[in-house]
A and B are shown apart, each in its own frame.
Chain A
């Protein structure tokens, strides 16, 4: 145990009602002792439930631990006590960004910049997010009325992660995934708008030609390949890769992604 932590621990033991827990938990967090930091921060929150600093601290620790839902709740509590708390605004902005809601992220960061004009990291983050909005043509889902903790994505753990997969509903709206142009631009929404029509046409063609329901469509282009499948009756999944992966293997990958999408849809829907 390092010297400062020892001192702080002693001070807290001497005077349990002091605010020494704030410094102690922060020192533990910085050293990576997240479980210990969490214990101290929770103790502080239960002793001082009206102290925004305590909630802010707990949120930082939980966020480092990967408990994003917990962090969201703790920062929300901090904001209820102190609506202009820059750290909490930054934290929630970060969580919204992780969830893909750039508009809500920007909103929180702008409030954070107002609350703490001296924090140079905030304008940098805002500039980055604005670039993101421009590239996506400003099409972003409106923030939920009562923000929910970020949900897990459909393609976690599958080769490529979110990128190169696109899950679309029957109305041509994106449910998950991301499709990037070589320039980095996310093409997902534009492609999604086309996919519902493709699915209807494929179903019609195989029905009228007496081939029964359709299973998949493989599209080979000189600079890439696509596989389309229908994980459920009213969704379409697109898997896109370059020619680095053989088409038959891409088919297997698409099947795995379809299974993952199906179980994700069951969980969220």
Chain B
């Protein structure tokens, strides 16, 4: 199994994670994905790639370094993102009851190991 698939496996194993993808943030395109039915990977890649890009610019304006983790919390679930090397972002779409703490640790660790 490739490193990337291994990374996605570890993230999707966390309870409540409905899908994980590796996204090229600048293009908003999927590099690799592991999704449950009903999760629109292309939309997740495009929208999260764009949002992470904008948040990175906002953080920089606020005097912060490139974000290591982003958690977008919504009524019916969350989107988690861990920027890795070379414009890659590890993205997870999770249910409202997901173990976000565990997913966060796995994702930060996995994103670092992508380099």
Question: Which residues B56-84 have CB closer than 8 A to chain A?
Answer: 57-59, 61-79
Which residues of the other chain, A, contact B38 by a CB distance below 8 angstroms?
210
The digit string for A201-212, where 1 denotes a CB below 8 A from any CB of B, is 110111011111
B63 & A217 in contact (Cβ 8 Å cutoff): no
Look across to chain B and name the residue whose beta carbon is closest to the beta carbon of A188: B62
How far apart are the CA atoms of A146 and B78 in the complex, in Å? 47
Say yes or no: A209-B47 contact (C-beta < 8 A), given A191-B62, A240-B62: yes
Docked CA distance A240–B60 (Å)? 12
Q: Are B73 and A219 in contact (CB under 8 A)?
A: no
Given A191-B61, A194-B58, A205:B51 Cβ within 8 A: yes
**Min CB–CB distance A219 → chain B (angstroms):** 5
The docked-state distance in angstroms from the alpha carbon of A112 to that of B59 is: 41
A205-B72 CB under 8 A given contacts A194-B58, A198-B54: yes
With both beta carbons as reference points, the residue of chain A lying nearest to B47 in the complex is identified as: A205
Q: Are B63 and A224 in contact (CB under 8 A)?
A: yes
Query: How many residues belonging to B are interface residues under a CB distance threshold of 8 Å?
Result: 34
With contact pairs A181-B63, A221-B65, A226-B64 given, residues A202 and B51 touching in the complex (Cβ less than 8 Å): yes
Q: Tell me whether B43 and A208 are in contact (CB under 8 A).
A: yes
Kindly identify, within residues 230 to 267 of chain A, every residue whose CB is under 8 Å from any CB belonging to chain B. Answer: 238, 240
| Contact partners of A211 in chain B: CB under 8 A | 74-79, 93
A182 on the B face (CB < 8 A): yes
Interface centre among A187, A205, A208, A224 (most CB of B within 10 A): A205
The total of Cβ contacts below 8 Å across the A-B interface reads 115
Q: Flag whether A216 is at the interface (Cβ < 8 A).
A: yes
A222 sits at the interface (CB 8 A): yes
Q: Is the CB of A218 within 8 A of B64?
A: no
Tell which of B40, B61, B78 touches A187, judged by Cβ atoms closer than 8 Å: B61
Give the residues in chain A near B63, CB-CB below 8 Å: 181-182, 187, 223-224
Are the C-beta atoms of A219 and B59 separated by less than 8 Å?
yes
Which residues of the other chain, B, contact A190 by a CB distance below 8 angstroms? Answer: 61
Q: A211-B79, A214-B73 are in contact. Are A198 and B68 (CB under 8 A)?
A: no
Chain B residues lying within 8 Å of A224, measured Cβ to Cβ, are 59, 62-64
Task: Give the residue of A209, A215, A217, A223 whose beta carbon is less than 8 angstroms from that of B93.
Answer: A209
A197 sits at the interface (CB 8 A) = yes
A165 CA to B77 CA in the complex, in Å? 26
Q: Which residues of A contact B72 (CB under 8 A)?
A: 202, 205-206, 214, 216-217
Q: How far is the CB of A222 from chain B (nearest CB, A)?
A: 5
Known: A205-B79, A226-B62. A217 touches B71 (CB 8 A): yes
The answer to whether the Cβ of A179 comes within 8 Å of any Cβ in the partner chain is yes
Whether A213 is near chain B, meaning CB under 8 Å from some CB there, is yes
B100 CB to nearest A CB, Å:
10
Which residues of B are in contact with A by a Cβ distance under 8 Å?
38-40, 43-44, 47-48, 50-51, 54-55, 57-59, 61-79, 93
Q: List A residues at the B interface (Cβ < 8 Å).
A: 179, 181-182, 187, 190-191, 193-195, 197-198, 201-202, 204-206, 208-224, 226, 238, 240
- A-B residue pairs, 8 tightest by C-beta: A212-B75, A211-B74, A205-B47, A206-B74, A221-B64, A194-B58, A218-B71, A212-B76
A-B contact pairs, 15 of them (CB 8 A): A187-B63, A194-B57, A204-B47, A206-B79, A209-B43, A210-B76, A211-B76, A215-B73, A215-B75, A217-B55, A217-B70, A219-B67, A219-B69, A223-B63, A240-B64
